[in-house]
Amino acid sequence: MLRGKKIGIIGVGNMGEAILRGLHQKGMAKGIVVTDIRPDRQVYIKKTYGVEVVSDNRQLSSQVQIVILAIKPQDIKGVLQEISPALDSSKLIISIVAGVSLGTISSILDKDLRLVRAMPNIAALVLESATALSQGGEASAEDMEMAQGIFGALGRTVVLPEVLMDAVTGMSGSGPAYVCLFIEALADGGVRMGLPRKAALELAIQTVLGTARLLSEGGEHPAYLKDRVASPGGTTIAGIASLEARGFRGAVMEAVASATQRSKELAKMKG
């Protein structure tokens, strides 16, 4: 689907570079063009990935078929106004700009374009992102397939209505922080019971990593795997009972709800 398509990435900070790295490792980097405002970053990207680096966003937009916006929210208006003359219905524009809706992008550009919004998370840095994609009004099914091909190089993708993007932010966008908090607490529990700090942290990280891989590759519901570990009258069910008594699941659900609400508030402020 992406064969023969030239891709441009405007902004190669952490997330922009993660996209580039994923495409590079999947052998899909041929024909990629990038821009970045920092000269040292331009040198690094060209040397590391061997892609074309230009300094003009409009030049990039005019020579590619897919434009990926990987910039900061405060820069979106200026960049869109800069590249607008080079954009038409022959190009697919994919935005990963946090908190900026497709409607906002359309209103700034004031033209009908093929738009897709993507919400990857920080695990894209190791090509294990959970990415949600939303289809803009002019985007086609083929456009969504191309977007899935790009972000599939970074991990896993799901397609959702844009109205759910705040919930995605509250769950998988903020989720790595919740998982880090759990890993830290799990390791602290081990230390409390006498394990050396380094060993406790290594065991906690590997426990979460291995469990996630079991669920991902096995396709089982988490409850099924939990029941396999929790034998009657055993240690695991005692630990689970302690977590439930302290409202563990409810606390996690409230965290997602709070982060979702904050995402909505920040989106209104940006709007």
Buried b (16+ CB within 10 A) or exposed e, 22-54: bbbeeebbebbbbbbeeeebbeebeeebebbbe
Of the candidates 121, 100, 76, 103, the one whose C-alpha atom is nearest the C-alpha of residue 267 is 100
CA-CA-CA-CA torsion for 52, 56, 58, 62, nearest 10 degrees?
-30
Q: What are the domain boundaries of the chain?
A: 7-161, 173-268
Residue 53 CA, distance from chain mean position: 23
Domain covering 7-161: architecture: 3-Layer(aba) Sandwich (3.40)
Instruction: Please compute the mean of the pLDDT values over residues 138-158 and round it to a whole number.
Output: 96
- What strands, in cross-sheet order, belong to the sheet with 52-54? 52-54, 33-35, 7-10, 66-69, 92-95, 114-119, 129-135, 155-159
Whole-structure pTM value: 0.92
* Choice between 217 and 3, residue whose per-residue pLDDT is larger: 217
pLDDT (0 to 100) of residue 2: 76
Distances (CA, A) of 147 to 35, 127, 131: 20, 15, 10
User: How sure is the predictor about 269, in pLDDT bands with cuts at 50, 70 and 90?
Assistant: confident
Domain 173-268: top CATH class: mainly alpha
Q: Please check the confidence at residue 1 and state whether its pLDDT lies above 80.
A: no
Q: Please check the confidence at residue 143 and state whether its pLDDT lies above 70.
A: yes
User: How sure is the predictor about 166, in pLDDT bands with cuts at 50, 70 and 90?
Assistant: very high
Q: How many residues does the chain have?
A: 271
Residue 95 CA, distance from chain mean position: 11
pLDDT digit string, tens, across residues 77-117: 999 999 999 999 999 999 999 889 999 999 999 998 999 99
Q: Please check the confidence at residue 271 and state whether its pLDDT lies above 80.
A: no
* Choice between 68 and 112, residue whose per-residue pLDDT is larger: 68
pLDDT digit string, tens, across residues 167-204: 999 999 999 999 999 999 999 999 999 999 999 999 99
Q: Please check the confidence at residue 270 and state whether its pLDDT lies above 80.
A: no
Instruction: Please compute the mean of the pLDDT values over residues 7-28 and round it to a whole number.
Output: 92
Instruction: Please compute the mean of the pLDDT values over residues 30-45 and round it to a whole number.
Output: 91
Instruction: Please compute the mean of the pLDDT values over residues 217-221 and round it to a whole number.
Output: 92
What value does the mean pLDDT of the chain take?
94
The CA distance from 177 to 183, in Å, is 10
